Amino acid sequence: MNMRIISNDHMRKLCATAAAAAAMLSISVVASPKASAAADPSFGQGGRYYYVLNSLRNGKADRKIVYGKANDTVLVGDWNGDGKDTLAVRRGGAYYIKNSIGNGSADTVIYYGRATDTVLVGDWDGDGKDTLAVRRGNEIYIKNSLGNGGADRVVSYGRADDTVLVGDWDGDGKDTFAVRRGNTYYVRNSLTSGAADTTVSYGRADDTVLVGDWNGDGKDTFAVRRGNVYYVKNTIAGGSADAVFGFGRNTDGVLVGDWDGDGKDTLAVRRDDDAPKTPQYLRPSGGMYPNLSTVQGLNIEVSLARQRVYVKSGSRTIYTMLASTGMDDSTPHGTYYVQNRGVSFYNSGEGMGANYWVSWKDYGTYLFHTVPTDASGNYIVSEADKLGHPASHGCVRLTVPDAQWLYNQLPEGTKVVIH
């Protein structure tokens, strides 16, 4: 955070002193953000603008549409069985379904499950139409029609903290489940409990994973996303990607669907084109925040390579935040736990401070906090613009709303893994 050259050790001591002083003086209470259902982390910064690509290639989108609200949770499915995937938006327990890729009002509105449920989409009975399932722990409540009412069947698979993926893995026309643990996938070919039919490792543990029928053979497989580059695999197997291409921006949300009905899944990116008036550092990284008091197995992962902070329920990422970690690899690697916190600190010797800090090592030395502030409490734009790149002297910088959310909701003792 300094504007003149000093040692990292000196900077950490100054940061620790300022943070510790702030901890003793701070008695402010800030209201927690409104709780809401968590958006899928792959949806990035949210937004209501969608850029649709009809082939797996580099270049510009084939189509742009506007639908829903910027903070909606978005689902993709072939809701009417016409062979084309379209969008639905979720608001609590309500789903607003659109049967065409276009602007305008929803064609169908249904209610299913609870606002806190994790929602999955699939063609569970092979009738050519996608419907919903909701997940509670390791139990999945499957609905075979787009209507209100109870589940048609309940299936248990995997662990409560697994990441669950949906796909037609064997090409029989019915979607089933796979669970992800790190970079290992446990694939089940029927909607029943029991051991996986196939176990495969692909990509890295911190990759964002997508599922689609990329080559039109009727079988879904995996792709991993790193920034705006996608590594597509056409078989359920390890090894190198079969196709690699770039599309969109690092901060885009990404969706998978067969938008034109050609039998092949491609991508769409979701972007907040209404937001340029608000700088990135003043916006939430990924839309609406989940209520951390309801999250089982809450933990934090910091990826130094990707400059991202992942809020997780067990091994499942529930929110992704843009970050700036330490220059010259000065952010410690390892496993730590949340300690004390404070509303703000300021280092008069260096002319910088920050707000909403949460310590995870050495009680005030290493922190999550906002982008830097000046003596008047204003955010320093030149520093804020470095989000997404190493810029600190060891702390983890976040956008202002992201840091405030952690300050308000992240419990003491929460595990923090940095690698």
Q: Which residues are catalytic?
A: 369, 395
Q: 100-104 long-range contacts, Cβ below 8 Å, gap at least 24?
A: 101/52, 101/63, 101/65, 101/259, 102/65, 102/67, 103/65, 103/66, 103/67, 104/67
d(CA 174, CA 123): 6
Q: How far is CA 147 from CA 95, 114, 177, 212, in A?
A: 10, 14, 22, 25
Residue 230 contacts residue 55 (beta carbons within 8 Å): no
Phi, psi of 278 (to 5 degrees): -105, 120
Beta bridge partners, 181, equal 184
Question: 366, exposed or middle or buried, with CB in 10 Å at 0-12, 13-18, 19+?
Answer: buried
Written as one string, the DSSP assignment of 330-366 is -SPPEEEE---EEEEEEETTTTEEEEEEEEEETTTTE
